[in-house]
């Protein structure tokens, strides 16, 4: 079978049309900013988007706690003694869940569990967000200074990071929590749980910035050899301009990725230390404190333990999945 001239012409026109459309799409893609490209890639990741929406919902629930608790006319301090029997257990099945008390009650006190969890999540999220931002800021600043100035400065920060990485983190948080809390209270900055929040943030930042420091330092060492940085040096730009105009803009994707990944870790850390009794204390409420109390009732009222456990798992999983999707979207070398 032989092809006709008209067939060859049609095929050639089709190829040219496809090539033109492809070139047009590439031109439009090249005109997008890095943020637009990252957003376009993130939108394609349905799991990351759904996880981000779930995490955002819990954030809104936490910081809108008075509003959402007010819908059910409850607060974390009100007690409902009629919901508790003589042994301290909640009357009825499923922890006393109902229309006005969607999560039921806290055994022993009769407080509304929904109000306790949404108000407690605000404390947990606040500690995790402040710690994540602080550790990223400290690690980035030290890494940029060490990598750009080098010499004794680089050696000092490098040895300091090695020294902190050698410490058993959990042991030192437990050992230093009481004296550091008392020191903060003696200054008058904060008292009781306010001082404990500051203590947790300080200890978590002190013992966690060193790992991030190593990652950022290696990235800065690579960036300072790039042509645009060397050109800025050749044009007489000072270190301050190079740091803020050349280095930091190229570190933002890395910092954002680590922020999204570290947040669930600090949420878990706050819950763990509060569970161990060295974090936030009653009468305040966090997920860790609720879990600590729920352990005492898990055989007689397993729903009381199940609800805060599921909430913590869902939030941590959603933040981790969103962090993975954000990393893929911001990574220019990723093919996903």
Q: Is residue 14 over pLDDT 70?
A: no
Q: Is residue 279 over pLDDT 60?
A: yes
DSSP code of 296?
G
Q: What is the structure's pLDDT at 317?
A: 92
pLDDT confidence bin for 332, thresholds 50/70/90: low
Cα 316 to Cα 271: distance, rounded to the nearest angstrom: 11
Sort 130 into a burial class: Cβ within 10 Å, 0-12 / 13-18 / 19+: middle
- Tokens 């008209």 correspond to what residue? 6
Looking at every residue in the chain, the average pLDDT score rounds to 83
Let me know: does 127 contact 201? Beta carbons within 8 Å: yes
The larger pLDDT score, comparing residue 22 to residue 216, is at 216
Q: What is the DSSP string of 76-129?
A: TT-B-GGGB-TTSPBSSSGGG--SS-TT-B-TTT-BBHHHHHHHHHHHHHHHHH
Mean pLDDT to the nearest integer, 209-232: 86
Cα 141 to Cα 75: distance, rounded to the nearest angstrom: 42
Cα 54 to Cα 50: distance, rounded to the nearest angstrom: 6
Q: Is residue 137 over pLDDT 60?
A: yes
pLDDT tens per residue, range 158-177: 999 888 888 788 888 888 88
pLDDT confidence bin for 281, thresholds 50/70/90: confident
The larger pLDDT score, comparing residue 52 to residue 9, is at 52
Sort 296 into a burial class: Cβ within 10 Å, 0-12 / 13-18 / 19+: middle
Q: Is residue 72 over pLDDT 60?
A: yes
The predicted model scores a pTM of 0.81
Mean pLDDT to the nearest integer, 3-14: 50
- CATH number of 53-334, picked from 2.40.30.10, 1.10.3720.10, 2.60.120.10, 3.30.1330.10: 1.10.3720.10
Instruction: Name 85's bridge partners.
Output: none
Mean pLDDT to the nearest integer, 92-118: 87
Q: Is residue 9 over pLDDT 50?
A: no
Measure CA 280 to chain center: 19
298-301, long-range: CB within 8 Å, 24+ apart, which pairs? 300/89, 300/107, 301/89, 301/90, 301/95, 301/107
Cβ count within 10 A of residue 62:
20
Cα 56 to Cα 21: distance, rounded to the nearest angstrom: 38
- Per DSSP, the three-state class of 72 is coil
């Amino acid at each position: 079978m032989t092809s006709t001239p008209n067939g060859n012409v049609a095929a050639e026109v089709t190829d040219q049309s496809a090539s033109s459309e492809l070139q047009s799409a590439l031109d439009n893609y090249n005109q997008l900013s890095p943020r637009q490209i990252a957003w376009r890639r993130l939108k394609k990741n349905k799991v990351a988007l759904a996880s981000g929406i779930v995490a955002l919902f819990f954030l809104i629930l936490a910081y809108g706690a008075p509003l959402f608790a007010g819908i059910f006319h409850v607060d974390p301090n009100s007690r409902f003694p009629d919901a508790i029997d003589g042994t301290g257990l909640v009357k009825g099945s499923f922890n006393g869940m109902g229309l006005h008390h969607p999560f039921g009650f806290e055994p022993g006190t009769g407080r509304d569990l929904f109000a306790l969890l949404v108000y407690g999540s605000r404390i947990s999220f606040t500690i995790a967000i402040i710690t994540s931002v602080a550790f990223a800021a400290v690690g980035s600043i030290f890494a940029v200074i060490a990598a750009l100035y080098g010499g004794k400065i680089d050696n000092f920060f490098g040895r300091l990071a090695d020294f902190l990485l050698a410490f058993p983190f959990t042991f030192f948080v437990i050992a230093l929590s009481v004296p550091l809390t008392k020191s903060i209270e003696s200054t008058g900055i904060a008292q009781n749980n306010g001082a404990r929040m500051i203590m947790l943030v300080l200890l978590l930042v002190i013992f966690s910035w060193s790992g991030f420091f190593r990652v950022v330092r290696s990235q800065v060492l690579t960036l300072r050899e790039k042509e645009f940085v060397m050109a800025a040096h050749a044009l007489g730009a000072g270190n301050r301009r190079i740091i803020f105009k050349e280095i930091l803009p190229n570190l933002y994707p890395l910092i954002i990725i680590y922020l999204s990944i570290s947040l669930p870790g600090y949420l878990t850390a706050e819950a763990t230390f509060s569970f161990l009794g060295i974090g936030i204390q009653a009468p305040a409420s966090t997920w860790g404190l609720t879990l600590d109390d729920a352990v005492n009732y898990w055989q007689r009222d397993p729903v009381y333990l199940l609800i805060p456990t599921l909430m913590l798992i869902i939030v941590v999983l959603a933040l981790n999945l969103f962090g993975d999707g954000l990393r893929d979207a911001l990574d220019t070398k990723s093919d996903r």
